[in-house]
């Protein structure tokens, strides 16, 4: 992937995360923040009501990773907590 294509791809991923975060914040009080995108590994940080929540793994793997995979199946999502 060329440098401009890489930047566009990252921008698309960031925009998707902003939309996921807005949804989680509105309905659950949590947030999802972009940390980095290195190759096919996306690092995110969950915050707000997600911190110390026992359902954090479900939010990360169900909502965040599941939604990202719908649009970018090649991306692996990990938490940078």
Q: Is the dihedral of CA 51, 52, 58, 61 positive or negative?
A: positive
Cα angle 38, 43, 44; round to 5: 150
pLDDT tens profile 31-74: 999 999 998 999 999 999 999 899 999 999 988 999 999 999 99
- What pLDDT does 79 receive? 86
3-79 homologous superfamily:
Fe-S cluster assembly (FSCA) (3.30.300.130)
């Amino acid at each position: 992937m060329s440098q401009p294509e890489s930047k566009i791809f990252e921008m698309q991923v960031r925009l998707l995360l902003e939309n996921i975060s807005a949804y989680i914040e509105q309905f659950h009080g949590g947030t999802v923040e972009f940390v980095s995108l290195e190759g096919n590994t996306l690092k995110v940080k969950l915050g707000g009501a997600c911190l110390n929540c026992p359902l954090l793994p479900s939010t990360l793997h169900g909502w965040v990773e599941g939604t990202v995979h719908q649009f970018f199946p090649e991306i692996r999502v990990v938490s940078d907590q």
